[in-house]
């Protein structure tokens, strides 16, 4: 598995942003931090735990900012996104929002659950049973 390359280098784009080679991600950090703070405050005011979705930005650096602002954890769509967060140094709770049923992925999830608090979604009793067997076999407890 490869982890995304993360850089927060200050790159001056010059007078014309179109001179930057693509693909490139450009983020207005002031606006990003304002939006993260606003969403975190909205969740706090509503008395709910915020678990922003990683698929929106796929950036460990942005996930760190969200957690620092008060996010209770990070939501991911796929197991490899959860692994990328862990590989990037994120040890916060991770929710995998889509069911994992194949044995190889359940094994990977159980290994990951040994390092970070992991919640795995299920959408059927069969999925719950598979998850239960994988967790018991690995000696893990997962939500």
Residue ranges of the chain with per-residue pLDDT less than 70:
1-15
DSSP string, 119-138: EE--SSHHHHHHHHHHHHHH
Q: Is 17 helix (H, G, I), strand (E, B) or coil?
A: helix
* Prediction pTM value: 0.82
Indicate the helix (H) or strand (E) that contains 75. Answer: strand 74-76
Look at the chain and count its residues: 143
pLDDT at 15: 62
């Amino acid at each position: 598995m490869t982890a995304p390359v993360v850089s927060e280098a200050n790159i001056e784009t010059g007078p014309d942003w179109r001179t930057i080679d693509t693909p490139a991600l450009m983020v207005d950090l002031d606006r990003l931090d304002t939006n993260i703070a606003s969403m975190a405050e909205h969740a706090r005011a509503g008395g709910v735990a915020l678990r922003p979705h990683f698929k929106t930005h796929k950036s460990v650096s942005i996930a760190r900012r969200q957690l620092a602002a008060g996010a209770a954890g990070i939501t991911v769509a796929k197991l490899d996104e959860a692994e990328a967060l862990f590989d990037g140094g994120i040890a916060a709770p991770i929710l995998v929002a889509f069911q994992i049923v194949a044995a190889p992925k359940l094994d990977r999830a159980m290994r990951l659950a040994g390092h970070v608090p992991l919640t795995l979604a299920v959408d059927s009793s069969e999925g719950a049973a598979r998850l239960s067997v994988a967790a018991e076999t690995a000696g893990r407890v997962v939500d």
